[in-house]
Amino acid sequence: MPGWASKPCIMGIDEAGRGPVLGPMVYGCALCALSEKSRLATLQFADSKTLTEAKREELFESIKADETIGWYVDVIDPRELSAKMLKRNRESLNVISYDSAMGLIRRGLDQGYNLSEVYVDTVGDAEKFQARLSQNFPGINFTVAKKADSLFPVVSAASIVAKVTRDRALKDWVMSEVGKDIGRSFGSSHPGGLPSMEQQRQSECNGVIRVTKDCVDLSAAVHMLPCCVGHNGTAPVSTFFTPRASGETNDGLQLQEASFRGRGLQGLSLELPAEHVGYVLGKSSTIKSQDSVIDEWKTQAEFHNLTYWNHDSKPSSSDPLQRCFDWLHLSNIIHGSISEEEVTSMMEQQTGESRGLKRKSSSLLP
């Protein structure tokens, strides 16, 4: 244990690979004495997603060599994630994340770190997460916030620790699939995350999106047309595209009608699924590094509903876009947490059904 561990300390916590397609989810933490807090801000730590792989590796090595900084990680195997999320009394990804973060804090206390302040990059509701941490660890001052990895240097350091640990695990990842050469050209869409420019172009994951506050709300003005528009710029759309109610319904849905380039269209307005927001993007700059060129996109407007249009058929609940929205709803159900009351209710229901089957079986016996 470092000598400064007995003094008041701060800890930052962040993750890499949340809900991973490949490899583990890694929760990492960084610690230092409270007296080093201002010096930490001078060490060029930043959100790992904004750094190239080479810069992340450089900063990680500097963290390891710095005797005033402590760190450790919790590497969660994807098989463990799947087992917990698919078992009968399933755990959501949020619950797994909460448990990992609390495990890091508990480990620090068990090792003798005198934690006085802990900063966490949130998952889910920040206020609820902070209240839960404060309840479990009274005496520690918690700050749980979105984008904490770009707000607090100690969380930025934790972000680098988690990301580099995961990157190194992926480099040595052993594919269980056989019979096909899967290859090793994979990476994330973060700067420096893709192995090459060619891989970046092929994957189309070549951008960084900056979400700005107070975007213009274009709800009820966003349309998805079944055609390609080659024009890139402003146009007086309202002078030649005028949707109106058709008076018809399909699957109980009120339809609209319009025409575009002389061809009739039938449309339907849809609300975006709960907790989802649509954005209109504009390219604001280009980030260049030794290995890659990344386009930076900025949100220019947002929308909470849209109207999609069909050429030759009436919009219906079987259309691909509506089915995509259904999957988003199902995803929220699958990954959402289940309360104790819901579990008890389901168990009582299953018990009642089981008793009903037994009574029915008994009545069939001679």
Q: Please report, in range form, the residues annotated as the binding site for a divalent metal cation.
A: 14-15, 121
Q: Which residue has the tokens 């699957």?
A: 251
Q: Please report, in range form, the residues annotated as the binding site.
A: 14-15, 121
Distance CA 320, CA 173 (A): 35
Phi, then psi, of 38 in degrees rounded to 5:
-70, -35
Helix axes 53-65, 153-171, angle to 10 degrees: 110
Largest CA distance in the chain: 84
Q: H or E stretch including 244?
A: strand 244-250
Question: What residues contact 68, with CB distance under 8 A and at least 6 apart?
Answer: 2, 4, 32, 33, 36, 39
* CA 147 from centroid of its chain's CA atoms: 12
Per DSSP, 253 falls in state E
Helix spans in the chain (H): 37-40, 53-65, 78-86, 93-111, 126-136, 148-151, 153-171, 197-203, 320-335, 340-364
Residue 16 burial class via C-beta count within 10 angstroms: exposed 0-12, middle 13-18, buried 19 and up: buried
